[in-house]
A and B are shown apart, each in its own frame.
Chain A
Amino acid sequence: MNWLGTGTDRTGKLAWIVVLAILVLAPFLGIYPLFIAQALCFAIFAIAFNLLLGYTGLLSFGHAAFFGGAAYVTAWLVHAQHWTPELALVAGVLAAAAAGLVVGLIAIRRQGIYFAMITLALAQMLFFFFLQAPFTGGEDGIQGIERGRLFGVLSLESDLALYFFVLVIFVAVFLFALRVVHSPYGQVLKAIRENEPRAVSLGYNVDRYKLLAFVISAALAGLGGALKTLVLHLATLQDVRWEQSGEVILMTLLGGLGTFAGPVVGAFIVVGLQNYLSDRAGAWTGVIIGVIFVLCVVAFRKGIVGELLAWQKRRKAS
């Protein structure tokens, strides 16, 4: 079951192919494709977040700014400027990366909880920017976005076409994250997470490594948000709020920090839960999310995948 954690080894690859096959078949098995597409967008977001917290040890409390910011940029370009979806997506990702560069440059000057507070504060600043900027539609957001034609040819209006488009991007992001984590660069990130002064003394320019990790994470978070606007036809303030930053933390924590399957599992559970609760629970949804958060931190810090891995390890040892 090691594949859940590292994403490699032989049985692991086989298992991931099975998961992929299920995802490909899912819309034909009667599962609503937009639901899975939405969950996949959040899974991309959570993978991006996990790169930063799980593998570099940096807790960003402002990732919603990149997720929602890219959503606004893409939505505006498609809706008001009539760009094709792929160009708008690229622009959204670049915008998120640029924002990530600025926020990262400021935030990596402090560590630990200060890093978390700084990212939260800067994200709140971006929230007010989006609230007041003329192109975002204020409290209403940008609604009724048409998905357009991919490369000007392939229409994404059908939910099925869009689903496969999202799935392809998700697989690409997953493989990219896998590559990053298992590359020499990823090893340095882990070294920084484990013992920053030691990494410094070994001659690594820690700040540069952290900054690059932050930019990559912001860009991927932006990709998730930009895709989400195409899935749901809208970009709203909801995506840039601090609650959203908290939600992605919850997804990663619940699934399993620093594992490969964790963020994906967490994203599906949280999105599923929200969809299920939205018409049944009203404001209790926030309370339930908060309770899960508290339980995770107090009693369940390894998350679902982390606990599975620990359980398997114990079984092997005995």
Chain B
Amino acid sequence: MTEIFGVPIQALFGQLMLGLVNGSFYAMLSLGLAVIFGLLGVVNFAHGALYMIGAYVAWFVMDRWNVGYWWALLIGPLAVGALGVVIERLLLKRLYKLDPLYGLLLTFGLALIFQGVFLQYYGSSGQSYSAPEQLSGATNLGFMILPNYRGWVVGVSLVVCLGTWFLIERTQLGALLRAGTENPTLVQAFGVNVPLMVTLTYAAGAALAGLAGVLAAPVIQVTPLMGSNLIIVVFAVVVIGGMGSIIGSIVTGLVLGLLEGLTRVFYPEASNIVVFVIMAVVLMIRPAGLFGKEK
């Protein structure tokens, strides 16, 4: 078998693909964080918990009502988005005039609550959820065997990310959103219902996290802790990319996933921490992040 730097080429591409899958989740989650932060000024610590809930919704509807994956792709984001509406209307709304740190603390508390409730009911062991038949199996690409589901995850995430980018940067609605980020009072004066826009933005960010959760359910074990481990890496991704740019979060997420995959091949012990090391290096060289602007 062909080898590169002493690593079988199949294993290398396999890990790179896995890295790309993880990168897709980083991209979707950091995108949601960036959208929410842009309009609400809140760093949503509960984002990991919302992702976890998305995965549990998929598992739950399958387990209880035998509702399959394709419906879960719709139900998961809707359920998590609805939860987002409740969170924003009930709690976050009260904090907008305060230091943004309070938003972080509030959502941290929410993350503890969600995680605790799921731990209480489902324990820390994982639930398995299998991919639908249409996406099981694998395709031989010649240089590697590609499990179909992984290819699907990367594809969907790319479409969703680019779609979000298009929506925000190229449409009328996106223009309103961006204007709301700059000057909410003025946008309100033009007759736009800004509070509703804020609620829906948070719900949309939450729904993105929920969708990522449903997509992740067949590739990882569904556990109450799956979100909290991920959210910290995503924070590092956000710091590296800078939260100012949508394309920035997508590219940074995917590239860091790939780098993590490479590390897993060549120096597995460091694969858990490589993102954090890169973050430290980036901060030393470009404190505002790769795509951020120094204020």
Q: Which A residues contact B (CB, under 8 angstroms)? A: 59, 61, 106-107, 109-110, 112-114, 116-118, 120-122, 124-125, 128-129, 132, 242-243, 246, 249, 253, 282-294, 296-298, 301
Contacts and interface: CB of A to CB of B under 8 A. Distances in A.
Interface of B: 43, 91, 94-95, 98-102, 104-106, 108-113, 115-117, 119-120, 228, 232-233, 235-236, 238-239, 269, 272-273, 275-277, 279-280, 283-284, 287
Contacts of B104: 59, 61, 113, 116
Contact of A106 (B108, B232, B280): B280
Contact of B283 (A109, A132, A287, A292): A109
B100 A112 contact: yes
Contacts of B279: 118, 121-122
B24 to A, nearest CB: 20
Nearest to A132: B269
Given A249-B108, A286-B119, 14 more contacts: A59-B104, A61-B104, A113-B100, A114-B239, A117-B236, A124-B276, A242-B228, A246-B112, A253-B105, A285-B116, A287-B117, A290-B110, A293-B105, A301-B98
B240 to A, nearest CB: 10
Contacts of B109: 290-294, 296-297
A113 B44 CA distance: 11
Given A121-B236, A122-B280, A285-B116, A293 B100 contact: no
| Chain A interface, DSSP helix/strand/loop, else mixed | helix
Given A132-B269, A282-B120, A287-B120, A118 B239 contact: yes
Contacts of A114: 239
Given A132-B269, A282-B120, A284-B120, A117 B112 contact: no
Contacts of B112: 243, 246, 286-287, 289-290, 293
Contact of B284 (A106, A113, A243, A283): A106
A128 B272 contact: yes
B111 A290 contact: yes
B116 A110 contact: no
Contact of A117 (B120, B235, B269, B277): B235
Contact of A59 (B94, B101, B110, B280): B101
Contacts of B272: 128, 132
15 contacts: A106-B280, A110-B283, A113-B43, A118-B239, A121-B232, A121-B279, A124-B276, A132-B272, A246-B112, A283-B119, A284-B116, A286-B116, A292-B109, A296-B105, A298-B94
Given A113-B100, A117-B236, A121-B239, A106 B113 contact: no
Nearest to A292: B109
Contact of A118 (B98, B275, B283): B283
A243 B275 CA distance: 20
